Amino acid sequence: MRSRQRMFAAVMRLLLKCLRLGRRRRFKLVRQVEQLWHYGHLCLRSLFYNSFTDSDVVLDSLFEPVYWLVDHVTRWFGVVFVALVIGLTSSIVAIVYICLLPLILQTYTPAWICWHLAYGHWNLIMIVFHYYMAITTSPGHPPQAKNDLTGVSICRKCIAPKPARTHHCSICNRCVLKMDHHCPWLNNCVGHYNHRYFFSFCLFMTMGCIYCSISGWEMFRDAYAAIERMKLLEKERLQVAANQTYYQTPPPTFSFRQRAFHKSVVYLWVLCSSVALALGALTLWHAALITRGETSIERHINRKERQRLQKKGKVFRNPYSYGSWDNWKVFLGVDVPRHWLTRVLLPSPHLPHGTGLSWDLPPCVTEQRAPLLAI
């Protein structure tokens, strides 16, 4: 009896030892897995760690392939966009000369004829001049060598001096002085030396489209009604042919010249009205930026700075704004009153104030403001 009890106790002790050993091995395996997990997580964080990382940086990293694709597509398709602008503008001018101008000369009074000829050709000259200057004028680039300018930082992408208001264009792969944006319709950056040409082109193109839309409204209504009448008569002619009623006279059809004339008038009015709305909104947006003395990029920078200072109970002031009226004078290069005619209402290739490397007070500014730190 005792031998059986001893044997049973020995078996139980052996079983307990096996259970303890299995539990220890299992716990040891779990600890090893946890250690490997923490070690791998630490290695991954050490490879991608950045003290400046936030949600914006993560989104920029995720959209980097999209940015790369847009940059390269815009760079290669810039010539196509320029050709499209030239082609559409040339088609409108051709329609005006071939279709509308003879009608104006036959129906309008001499005073209205002189007005249309003078205003139309002046507007066309301003559009062509400013568009040509905008696409051929370099926006300005900072020098690659070291200089003695104060407040110059270093661009992280091209490793070159970066003066105030200068930003790097990923499409041109260069820093641009007073960069506003890269315009694919110009195949060029909008910067210090061609910003005025870009805005003037947008303004005069909008004015020309509004002029064509207003002056051609009655012609558009007549042409649209004629096209609808052509469709109706064509439908009736097909019905007559299907019924084979040869004793009926087929309805008259419009000639090819009449069809082309009416469709050209409708094309002109629809295109000019659409461009007037879209380009007019863009022109008003840039006019508001010029009034505040800032570019499209600086608007975002100034907004963040304004919010940061507002939390501290301070007021932000744009160091490059001299007041609404003086901002326009500086932008347009108006130093004396006669410049409103020679430099604004007539084509003028004059250079903007300053070199884009430093921002001294322009001579046309009436009141000197207190110096502020550059943003």
**How many residues are present in the chain?**
375
Contacts of 69 (CB under 8 A, 6+ apart): none
Confidence (pTM): 0.77
Element (DSSP H or E) covering residue 134: helix 110-136
> Among 99, 183, 189, 212, which one carries the catalytic annotation?
183
**3 state DSSP class of 85:** helix
> Which ranges in 137-216 belong to alpha helices (H)?
195-215
> At a CB cut-off of 8 Å and minimum separation 6, what does 144 contact?
160, 161
Compute the distance between CA of residue 38 and CA of residue 311 in angstroms, rounded to an integer.
Answer: 39
What's the mean pLDDT when you consider all of the chain?
83
pLDDT tens column, 21-34 = 555 555 667 777 78
183 in active site: yes
The answer to whether the beta carbons of residues 328 and 291 sit under 8 Å apart is yes
Q: Are 227 and 262 in contact (CB under 8 A)?
A: yes
Q: Report the half-sphere exposure of 54 (CA within 13 A, side-chain side).
A: 2
* Structural domain spans, the chain: 60-245+252-358
pLDDT of residue 56: 62
Question: Residue 38's pLDDT is what?
Answer: 79
pLDDT per position as a tens digit, 174-233: 899 999 999 989 999 999 999 999 999 999 999 999 999 998 898 899 988 888 888 887
pLDDT tens for each residue of 65-86: 766 666 666 677 888 999 999 9
Q: Is residue 266 scored above 80 in pLDDT?
A: yes
